[in-house]
Amino acid sequence: MTGFDLVHVMDLMNKGTSFDSLGKPREALTCYTEAERILKSRKGNGETKVAEFMLACNKAIAHDNLGDYQASISQWDQALKLADNLPASTRHASSLPLDKTSPLLGKALTLANMGDLEKAIKICKDVLSIQPENPVALARMGYLSLRAENYQEAIHWCSRALQKDKRDLHSLSNLGAALSGVGRLEDARAVLQQVLNIAPTHPPALYSMGTLLLHMDLPEQAIGYLKKAVTFNPTSSEAWNHLGIALLQSGQSGSRECFEQALKADTNNLAALGNLMGAIQSETSCSWEDAERQVVEFVNRVRRG
């Protein structure tokens, strides 16, 4: 592969990651497919192997963002195979070593998105047994512990991650949510406000602050944060659901539309299903059976596209 070819491949990957960061994973995959075509048409060397490895990781992330989790797992496994052949001289081409830890931690996140938290946590613990100070693994353990509702563990892991980087916004947001989970509401509010002072549009912190204010019986204050959360992350089913709850509790209109948006984002959101039935029954004074029928019809329409 010529130097020009490699530059073009890296440009395509950079363009793809930019698309993915803007919520356009399909466009990202188009870039990655072109980069892959160029790589396959040229003889490989050490730099090519690194590019193939990074490309597999990028494709895995894009597929994960699309919700195509099996394709994502396949790409993570491909990256793990490629990691065995990475030349030692190029394993520090990024801020972290280019080795198996990156695809392992990526695979853990995809497994979590598939609902397999137990396997995801095991992978992270295996990485930490080898690299106990790996900042990504520490942060991911905080996130996964939060997802598993192991709030004390989440506090522990997030705190360790923040010792590595006190401005790690994801770990700060997760710490705030975990503190809320153990009832330390004022501490949680202070941590989440710290995140929002740094990044006012950070969706996880906006969502966590909104749900925290709901727990504090302050639905009117929660609404503003939750509206921003769905503005900057419109596919968050939970944020839409909690916005609907906040509107309902504050006596404002629009809750039904929020529950519908929650189900458009995730038709398996059982809380939103129940909330939408309640909203329909309240608005139309119909029977619970009729409200249930309307919700089933709505979900079926969403699933049919």
pLDDT for 93 = 46
Distance CA 85, CA 275 (A): 52
| pLDDT (0 to 100) of residue 169 | 95
Nearest of 168, 214, 219 to residue 191 by alpha carbon: 168
Cα torsion 41, 46, 50, 56 to 10°: value is 40
pTM score over 0.85: no
CB contact at 8 A, 244 and 256: yes
- 212-248: pLDDT as tens digits: 999 999 999 999 999 999 999 998 999 999 999 999 9
Q: Which residues of the chain have pLDDT under 50?
A: 1, 92-94
Task: Share the mean pLDDT of the chain.
Answer: 92
pLDDT tens per residue across span 60-105: 999 999 989 999 999 999 999 999 888 776 554 445 567 899 999 9
pLDDT given at position 146 = 96
Q: Which domains does the chain have, with CATH numbers?
A: 121-189 (1.25.40.10)
Q: What's residue 223's pLDDT? A: 98
